[in-house]
Amino acid sequence: MIAFVLALLLSTPALAVDAPASPVLSVSTVEPRGFGYFVGDLLTREVHVDVAKSYILEAASQPKPGRLSYWLDLRSVDVSERWASGATRYRLKLVYQTLYVPLSPAERHLPAFELRFKDGDDVAVAKVPAFKFVMAPLREVIPEVPAEGPEGYLRPDVKPQALSTRRDRVLFGVGLGLTGLALIFLAYDRAWWPFRARPNRPFARASRRLRSLARFKNADAYREGLLDLHRAFDAAAGRRVLAEDVAGFLESHAVFRAYEREIGRFFAASRQAFFANDVSGAEKAMPLSAMAALGAELSAAERRAL
């Protein structure tokens, strides 16, 4: 008998050494305070579980948001995980709400639950204990009855106060007037309607037309552009201006002298297009885009001369 007991004692450490370690390495909780709760209050509880790295939390074992009992509701469950030191740490944040009004201070318990972790066919279980806390009742405070009766509990509505908007209206009117004046000056400067018909801004009208025609890449648009710029020269001079008249035109309109070279290029391209019937050659000599650029420069010079 003594020999049997000795053999049993000697074999016990060996059995303990051979027992496999649990894949659930640790279970800890961060609890809310244990007292001072009323109906509708929220309690936030955190659960930290460290498991072997190969084990994964089984979603079906997580607490599900919803009504747990007549007095307790699980509002939300937030699960996160991270890896550290060869293990996986799962963090569960559970938010509970109380739905009970006790008649006197009473103990309540957030329920215990189990979390299951799987590694293939192997299952490990982590047990989360219950949490005890104290709920307090709501005590009604009854005020004195007012002299005018129960109606005295109701406070009269605050009468709406009329706010003056005169300053805002004045500022709005001033801003609107300044905007209108700015638009009028801009329309006058750019020869927009109703100032478009001013006879002393022919190059402004031609410049607008040339910008529109520059989008088209055909012979008709090119001829139209030549004619528009010719009409502008004629209107500015008060007579028909041909290539031979350019020098005299620049003598009487010195504001355009800086563009003498480009003006000569324009009249040469016009002669090639209309008299030699060589539109393609004229376009190579002075493309429609270059003609539009000349129109814009002449319009700007015309505007500066006013």
How big is the CA angle at 283 (ends 277 and 285), to the nearest 5 degrees?
100
Count of CB atoms situated within 10 Å of the CB of 51: 24
pLDDT digit string (tens) for 153-186? 677 787 887 888 999 999 999 999 999 999 998 8
Residue 128 CB coordination number (10 Å): 20
Q: At a CB cut-off of 8 Å and minimum separation 6, what does 191 contact?
A: 198, 201, 204, 205
Q: What is the CATH number of domain 21-135?
A: 2.60.40
Residue pair 79/90 in contact (Cβ under 8 Å)? The answer is: yes
State the amino acid at position 131 in one-letter form. F
Task: Give the residue from 239, 238, 240, 249 showing the smallest Cα distance to 298.
Answer: 249
**Mean of the per-residue pLDDT values of the chain:** 86
- 204 burial type by CB count under 10 A (0-12 exposed, 13-18 middle, 19+ buried): buried
Q: Which two tokens stand for residue 180?
A: 């209108």
53 within 8 A of 88, measured Cβ to Cβ:
yes
**C-alpha torsion sign, points 125, 129, 130, 131:** negative
Q: pLDDT tens digits, the chain, 306 residues: what are they?
A: 455 444 444 454 444 444 467 889 999 999 999 998 999 999 999 999 999 988 999 999 999 999 999 999 999 999 999 987 789 999 999 999 999 888 888 999 999 999 999 998 899 999 999 999 999 888 766 667 777 777 776 777 878 878 889 999 999 999 999 999 999 988 887 777 777 655 568 998 899 999 888 888 888 999 999 999 999 999 988 899 998 999 999 999 999 999 999 999 999 999 999 999 998 999 999 999 999 999 999 999 988 887
